[in-house]
Structure 1
Amino acid sequence: MSDLRPPLPPFTFETATQKVRLAENAWNGRDPVKVAGAYTEDSIWRNRSEFLQGRAAIIEFLARKWAKELDYRLIKELWGFHENRIAVRFQYEWRDAADNWYRSYGNEQWEFDAAGLMRRREASINDVPITEAARKFFWPAGPRPNDAPGLAEQGL
């Protein structure tokens, strides 16, 4: 089995956009092991104020995250790219166990190795309480359908 995770750097607009959508689809699948497979074994993360290193820590983090963030729906959008780096903006909606809804707004900086695995991820995220009526992301659990609008198409 190949250790390559195309598309590979250096990125073009098309391949960076594809990489972002592949990441979005994986995160919407909410499988910590599958998501962690896109990162190097020693990947370094900053997620909000939490610092992680390695796939095992990523898997544990994601399992915790999705146990708390129920009915998770994420949209990522390419913000910029250069060689082996991609910048992303994103929003996701989720509810807690008490049925309080949130929209989380964030930015990520990604750095990839030559095999297309992410070796560094830095994420800044803010959560804003919303009403259930204010939700905008309604597709069934799993990846966002190709015909569902992205952030820019929704004016977000």
Structure 2
Amino acid sequence: MDSRPPFPPFTAETAAQKARAAEDAWNSCDPARVALAYTVDSRWRNREVFVHGRAEIEAFLTQKWARELDYRLIKEVWTYGGNRIAVRFVYESHDAQGQWFRSHGNENWEFDEHGLMQRRHASINDIAIDESERLFHWDRPGPRPADHPGLTDLGL
């Protein structure tokens, strides 16, 4: 059986650890790596798309990162309780034509006893920005450096 500590029930510290681990994985832009954090029958709603299971998650993320180039993401815990965590997030990316976007969203996560995410509900809004308005600057792929400001520090 796969497992991904920390396990529920979550505390402020373990919820923050879970959110940072998710942020780091998504910033790898590696669909296979990211998919392993979810149960084999995980259910997602991502905007208007419904995804079921690791294979669909991996396919979804492959398509996502083919469209959303130079992707950089920051997550922040909003609240937590039991086996659930709510986060807010912002990511920046550009399309094939070079138009940059800042995407703001909220996610509700539910975990099984092994620390794998079994449900993910994401609501996301995109705002076109100029490249000069970008706030997320670090080498990619890879995690956000420890000294890079988070969402609250950036006023987002």
In the superposition, the TM-score normalised over structure 1's length comes to 0.98
Query: 2:55 — aligned with what?
Result: 56
Query: 1:100 — aligned with what?
Result: 99
Q: Residue 74 of structure 1: CA displacement?
A: 0.2
- Aligned mates of 1:136, 1:22 — CA distance in 2: 21
- Alpha-carbon RMSD across the aligned residues, in angstroms, is 0.6
- Aligned mates of 1:155, 1:134 — CA distance in 2: 13
Query: 2:143 — aligned with what?
Result: 143
Q: Residue 106 of structure 1: CA displacement?
A: 0.2
Segments of structure 2 that go 5 or more residues without pairing to the other structure are none
Instruction: Give 3-state SS (helix, strand or coil) of 1:147's partner.
Output: coil
How many residues align? The count is 155
Q: Residue 155 of structure 1: CA displacement?
A: 1.3
- Aligned mates of 2:134, 2:123 — CA distance in 1: 21
Give per-residue Cα distances to partners, 1:34-67, cap 9 Å, x unaligned.
Answer: 0000000000000000001000000000000000
4+ aligned runs moved over 6 Å, structure 1: none
Q: Residue 4 of structure 1: CA displacement?
A: 1.6
- Aligned mates of 2:103, 2:154 — CA distance in 1: 16
Give per-residue Cα distances to partners, 1:46-95, cap 9 Å, x unaligned.
Answer: 00000010000000000000000000000000000000000000000000
Instruction: Give 3-state SS (helix, strand or coil) of 1:126's partner.
Output: strand
Identity of aligned residues (%): 63
In the superposition, the TM-score normalised over structure 2's length comes to 0.98
Query: 1:33 — aligned with what?
Result: 32
Query: 1:88 — aligned with what?
Result: 87
